[in-house]
A and B are shown apart, each in its own frame.
Chain A
Amino acid sequence: ELKVEQNPLFLSMQEGKNYTIYCNYSTTSDRLYWYRQDPGKSLESLFVLLSNGAVKQEGRLMASLDTKARLSTLHITAAVHDLSATYFCAVDIVIGSGSRLTFGEGTQLTVNP
């Protein structure tokens, strides 16, 4: 059974600081997704990582994927309050003719002024 583990689960940081969220998964996959969820809302897609070594950046967020280590990171640079949300990674596994996502537990990020 695929396991997807995020670390940390809760993160409180000050504006302007940097931090990294880690996502480990237990089986082979070449597709990993990062999502953001605001309270009471659905998921917003942040990044799609499709190959080993993939790196994508959008604003203050940068995501990377190491398929050999089964590890993805979401790096936050110079955090601002607007980044406060819960961040999920999800791993895509091919099953038969289709695929399915397995989500990590989520990292609840609070950025304090």
Chain B
Amino acid sequence: GAVVSQHPSWVICKSGTSVKIECRSLDFQATTMFWYRQFPKQSLMLMATSNEGSKATYEQGVEKDKFLINHASLTLSTLTVTSAHPEDSSFYICSATTSGDVEDTQYFGPGTRLTVL
């Protein structure tokens, strides 16, 4: 089946620093990638949708200048949390879809746990 990886699995950083999270589709070309954020004991909230070679579409309330998304290739998308603060601490999960999938299934990565001190 389709595999999506994320790197790193977890990261601890100081307040004010920037953190980059990578999302890769390992065995398929991901035409669209999604970034979600999940706070403890809560559901997943979509942050943004990105298509290869295009600017990401951000959900209402998500600061595009703070959460930089780059989808430079059909197998890689990156999320950079700029000037991270403790309230950005969360579980970040990416997912990917491929064109031609009748079920339009999103394949989820294993997630990245970010802790900002």
A residues touching B (Cβ–Cβ < 8 Å)?
Answer: 31, 33, 35, 40-43, 45, 48, 50, 88, 92, 98-106
Contacts and interface: CB of A to CB of B under 8 A. Distances in A.
Interface of B is mostly: strand
A35 B36 CA distance: 15
B111 A42 contact: yes
Contact of A100 (B34, B51, B105, B113): B34
A96 to B, nearest CB: 9
A48 B110 CA distance: 20
Contact of B46 (A35, A41, A45, A100): A100
Contacts of A98: 32, 49, 51
Contacts of B103: 31, 48, 50
Contacts of B45: 103
Chain B interface bracket (under 10, 10 to 19, 20 to 34, 35 or more): 20 to 34
A40 B45 CA distance: 16
B101 to A, nearest CB: 10
B44 interface: yes
Nearest to B109: A42
Given A45-B105, A48-B103, A100-B49, A88 B43 contact: yes
B110 A88 contact: no
B105 A48 contact: yes
A42 B93 contact: yes
Contacts of A43: 44, 93, 108
A102 B93 CA distance: 14
A103 B110 contact: no
Contacts of B106: 33, 101
A41 B104 contact: no
6 contacts: A31-B103, A42-B108, A45-B105, A101-B46, A103-B44, A106-B42
Interface string B92-109: 010000000001111111
Q: Which 7 pairs of residues, A with B, have the shortest CB-CB distance?
A: A42-B111, A43-B108, A103-B43, A48-B103, A42-B110, A103-B44, A42-B108
